[in-house]
Amino acid sequence: MFGFLRRDRSKREIIINCENLEIRAAVMENGRLEELMIEHPTSERIVGSIFKGRIQNLEHDLQAAFVDIGWKKNAFLHYWDMVPEDARRDSDDEADEGPRERRRSYEGREIERRFPIGSEIMVQVTKGPIGTKGPRVTAAISLPGRYIVMMPGSRLKGVSRKITDESERNRLKKILARLPVPDGMGVIIRTAGAGASKGSFVEDLERLLGIWAGIQKTAAEKPAPCCLYQEPDLVDRVVRDWMSDDIDRIVIDSKDKYEKIREVAGQISRRARSKIVLYDGEAPIFDHFGVERQVEETFQKRVNLKSGGYIVFDETEAMIAIDVNTGRHKGRGAQEEAILEVNTEAVEEIARQLRLRNIGGIIVIDLIDMKSRKHQSAVYKAMKAALKRDKARTNVLPISELGLMEMTRQRVEESLFASTYSPCPYCRGHGVVKSALGVSVELQRQLLAVLRKRDRTKPASGLNIVVHPTVLERLRREDEHFLIDLQSRFEGSLTFKSDPAKHVEFFAISDAATGEILYSSM
């Protein structure tokens, strides 16, 4: 057996599982899952793609345009995202150009003059379709490379805020000033650019300029709507965005992809190329490296903490509700200290779970009540620190008087749960069904209505009632006297039948003589 098949103590490694219908990449730190990326090759990659679209309508009240990009639903384009420079002020996280300016509000006439209905516009998808909503797009195009992000139509130039070493920032700014960047082209040095040579930046820039030239050529030749550019697949993006000195190795289970990313990594350095390893073990790669079990945990509502406490996730269309509980936790000291310990561990785990589950939107965390302002501040700071490693934009507020922590997280695509599961057709997505008591109550209510109506219009006759076996058991054991009373009051016979093939909430009332359905619950 090859040495790499033995689980070693690598500090950071990326495990990639390639299958026909799904590609998964997991970033592991000392055997613990920290990042999870999933892509389906049979589905079109839309986030990051660039389209030549056609404006379908302008909604001044919404301050937005709807653009036909050839997708199932028209794309949503805010007015402030229609002008690249205005869009940059709010959307860019990498630049160091000082505080963001407030979004500008546009007059309807100005937009109609600059972007009349039916006109063509080049846009890039920033958020995929979620639920009933179409994709969201921007006219502020950005092309990410290994070391830089290139932004056509922008004057912005800067260095990633995440590079904090002042001497390195100064070195990179000097390199940036000497790069042969064409006029009307913005450039931001990415975090991966720290320590890179000037030649690496030049090569990256030349490659991106070539891609942009191809996009412009396609835009000139093809009519709208059409796709001009699509982001590379997940495996290529992992090498581009994640390969760095602190990654010890990338292990992949596909021979073809292995050869491809070794070639890509070789363009970075020989050392990077040597970090790519092919897995050919008998067990599935995620099982072998202990990833599968941790992935399955991300689909569970309840997450247990090492301290004995636990977290409960409830994902709804409006927001994500997260509840923190002490569970079996037994604090060593005072109760307040024990609560602080659980809450601190909880927010650190919540930050990790948000990344793994790809949860976005409004998030409300119900922490265990803390009386001490000092403790509340400590938990808030712990959450802020834990969110620093999140690539998605986040905004978290201090703990409220009700003990709630409110935050938002950038939502680019559907959550892992929403993209993997579909609503249960049996319970219609509720997760629960009516109890036998609930069905019995509804049945008796509708049965009484049918009997009253027949009492006025027709002579007494029998009724057939079909129910699920569990409901019939309830009727026989606990509700029989109510039904006997109904039967005697309206002088008609009631015949009950069970059908295990029916839904547990189903019942139907029909005329025994004619077979006419008088009422059906479903």
**pLDDT above 80 (res 22):** yes
* Structural domain containing residue 378: 298-420
- Burial class for 311, CB neighbours closer than 10 Å (0-12, 13-18, 19+): buried
Say if 129 falls within a structural domain: yes
| Same domain flag for 258 and 123 | no
Q: Examine residue 428 and state whether it is found in any structural domain, yes or no.
A: no
Angle at the Cα of 285 from the Cα atoms of 284 and 288, rounded to 5 degrees: 90
Cβ neighbourhood burial of 345 (10 Å; 0-12, 13-18, 19+): buried
Domain boundary among 190, 210, 230: 230
Tell me the CA distances in angstroms from 394 to 12, 315, 354, 386, 407, one per residue in order. Answer: 24, 18, 11, 11, 7
Look at residue 195 in the predicted model and tell me its pLDDT.
Answer: 87
Q: Quote the tokens at residue 174.
A: 């000097």
Counting the structural domains of the chain, the total is: 4
**Sequence-distant (≥ 6) Cβ neighbours of residue 201 within 8 angstroms:** 147, 148, 175, 176, 179, 189, 193
Question: Under a CB-based contact definition with an 8 Å cutoff, are residues 75 and 125 in contact?
Answer: yes
316 in the same domain as 262: no
pLDDT, tens digit, 9 for 90 and up, residues 261-313: 898 888 777 888 899 999 999 999 999 999 999 999 988 999 999 888 899 99
Whether residue 499 is predicted with pLDDT greater than 80 in this model: the reply is yes
Region 152-166 average pLDDT: 89
pLDDT of 1 > 70? The answer is no
Tally Cβ neighbours within 10 Å of residue 166: 8
Please indicate, yes or no, if residue 431 is contained in any of the structural domains.
Answer: no
pLDDT range class, residue 483, cuts 50, 70, 90: confident
Q: Assess contact for 372 and 338: CB atoms under 8 A.
A: no
Same structural domain for residues 377 and 480? Answer: no
Residue predicted with more confidence, 425 or 468 = 468
Looking at residue 519, its pLDDT comes to 92
CATH code of 458's domain: 3.40.1260.20
Q: Phi/psi of residue 362, each to 5°? A: -85, 130
What is the per-residue pLDDT for 459? 60
- pLDDT (tens digit, 9 = 90+) per residue, 28-83? 999 999 999 998 888 888 899 999 999 999 998 888 999 999 988 999 999 888 88
Counting beta carbons within 10 angstroms of the beta carbon of residue 167, is it exposed (0 to 12), middle (13 to 18) or buried (19 or more)?
exposed
Question: Is residue 427 a part of any domain in this protein?
Answer: no
Mean pLDDT, the chain, whole residue set = 87
Structure tokens at 120: 């063509």
282-294 b/e (C-beta count within 10 Å ≥ 16 → b): eeebbebbebbeb
Q: Is residue 425 part of a domain?
A: no
Indicate the residue among 366, 387, 420 that finishes a domain: 420
CATH of the domain at 334: 3.40.630
Q: What is the pLDDT of residues 387-408, one digit of tens each?
A: 988 988 999 999 998 899 999 9
